[in-house]
Structure 1
Amino acid sequence: MFPFHGYELFLKTSNFWECFDPLYLTVNKRDRYNVRIQDNISIAEYRQIYGDEWPEEWKLKYPVFDQIQVPMLQNREDMIKWVTRNGDIVNYSTGQVWCDLRCSNAIKDWHHIVWFSQMVPKHAFILWLAIWNRLSTQDRMSKWNLSKSYSCALCDEVPDSVAHLFFECSYSRKVWEIMKTKLLFKGLSYKIGSVIEVLEKYPFKKQIWSVINRIVIAAIVYYIWQERNSRIFKGMKRDSQGLSMKVQEFIKVKLLTLKVKHTKSVQQAGEIWQINWNC
């Protein structure tokens, strides 16, 4: 079986195998040679030899040829159409092919927290991994090396995990406590899952606090993860106050790039973050 839904071809001079890459992999070189079909044969040349039929040897050996037709010749420009998973014939594009081939899962309620236009891509990626619990934390690595003992590089108390780093660890907890003073949500939990649940319920609009909340949580997760790796792999350390200042400096620079309108929320955010937007 082909690993795709199908081509609808209207070709005249195109190379036969370029249009049927999967066939080229399916039919071995000996079988191609036996029926005198060369690698550089065109669609028109093929039809002059076999017309609308596939070689009998191929049909007997490869059942896939019962499911596809020899491409048609038309007096127009060569084109390729894609048959989607819904049976619609559309212009061929790699994007459409990818949409048809990939496994589609339900959209998560938190996707707007991670993926939006103002988000920093590398921050979004690390936050996405954290939410899915796919960061290479020590609790995961210990399953591969049972003989080694681990301890969190930030607090040196227990092996780290996503739940520990964000924000049960005594080090990251201090960072989180400092950063929460810059948000409207003062009673946010010390568990990353609970924080995401709270943000899920917040309106995902271009309102200034909606943007700030999402930028802040992603930046904190990114810089804590970066600090953890710097301690493990580079032996470099910053105290929680220093890391908090680093996060705040980055966020202030990021917020200054936003185009905002003069509203009470913008004025409030400017006062808290000590930013003077030229509205």
Structure 2
Amino acid sequence: MGIKREATVEEALMRDKRRRRYRSRILNEIEAEMETVSERLRVNAEAVNMWRCGSGYKQRFSAHETWWLLRMARERCNWSRSIWFSKATPKFAFVAWLAASNRLSTMDRITQWDPGADATCVLCKREPESRNHLFFECSFSNQLWEHLTKGILLSDYTNAWLSILEIISDEGMKKKKRFCLRYALQAALHALWWERDKIKYNEKPSPIGATMKMVDKGIRNKLSILRSKRVKGWENGLQFWFSTRI
């Protein structure tokens, strides 16, 4: 009959109005009864615009309910708040979001539609390039990550991507430590992806020492801005960062 098993009476009556003929007598009777009810409703009630929502149909439009009907529902990720956090740098956060979603155009993904492409990592020139390798199993990127975070993480230091995501998602971590770790991760991801693309397009690579200094300086500038703007709780942010340098 073209009616979903879980459909309400309202939804059944508002389906395609073409009269159907069935071999089964009971189905024809149901069809006739539904047509009678629909006809009675058309006669006794004025036509009104109805908006579909999660619980059926309503006369008032709700952008919120319409959005939830249109979007594809997925399991909520546990790392979103560690990517989109207060005082993050938008361009850094965007690259971090792509990396966490595994949507960056790393060579393992490119070879899926271009099997002939060279999948070797352009930073270390040793292993095939993937998200997990580039961040931070690669010998080049691992040096940057260790330089930035070894003094923050100490015995918890790791260069395994999934473990890093788990660590930065810990809301129980102290505020300055959590911010510096998350910001350092995003600054490192942005710098490494920029360096990777630069080499990929035949530009001269930067020495790892220069990359370290550039990213470290960017983090110090961010903390200095927070202090100069008198952001509450960040008067000693720069001192904390210096205390983690080993």
* TM-score computed with the length of structure 2 as normaliser: 0.69
Which residues in structure 2 correspond to 1:74-153 (within 5 Å)? 82-87=51-56, 89=58, 91-92=60-61, 94-153=63-122
SS of the residue corresponding to residue 211 of structure 1 reads: helix
Distance 1:270 1:254, change over 3 A: closer
Q: Distance in 2 between matches of 1:99 and 1:125?
A: 24
SS of the residue corresponding to residue 143 of structure 1 reads: helix
Q: Distance in 2 between matches of 1:138 and 1:113?
A: 26
Q: Structure 2 stretches of 5 or more lacking a match? A: 3-15, 20-34
How far off its partner does 1:173 sit? 0.9
Q: Structure 1 stretches of 5 or more lacking a match? A: 2-57, 75-79
Instruction: Give 2:13's aligned residue.
Output: none
Q: Distance in 2 between matches of 1:253 and 1:73?
A: 63
Distance 1:148 1:186, change over 3 A: same
Instruction: Give 1:240's aligned residue.
Output: 208
Match among 261, 268, 274 for residue 232 of structure 2: 261
Instruction: Give 1:201's aligned residue.
Output: 170
Q: How many residues align?
A: 206
1:162 corresponds to 2:124: no
Distance 1:85 1:240, change over 3 A: same
Match among 189, 192, 197 for residue 161 of structure 2: 192
SS of the residue corresponding to residue 147 of structure 2 reads: helix
Instruction: Give 1:175's aligned residue.
Output: 144
- Give the fraction of aligned pairs with identical amino acids, expressed as a percent: 28
Instruction: Give 1:24's aligned residue.
Output: none
Q: What root-mean-square deviation, in Å, do the aligned CA atoms of Structure 1 and Structure 2 show?
A: 3.4
Instruction: Give 1:34's aligned residue.
Output: none
Q: Counterpart amino acid of 2:207?
A: D
- The C-alpha deviation readout for 1:120-166, integer Å capped at 9, x for no partner, is 22222222222222221111222323334332111111221111111
Instruction: Give 1:249's aligned residue.
Output: 217
Structure with higher helix content: 2
Out of 195-204 and 151-160, give the one that drifted further. 195-204
Question: In 2, are the aligned partners of 1:182 and 1:272 still within 8 Å (CA)?
Answer: no
- The C-alpha deviation readout for 1:247-272, integer Å capped at 9, x for no partner, is 12222222234354358xx63x4224
How far off its partner does 1:99 sit? 2.3
Distance 1:113 1:82, change over 3 A: same
Q: Counterpart amino acid of 2:72?
A: C
Q: Distance in 2 between matches of 1:272 and 1:90?
A: 57
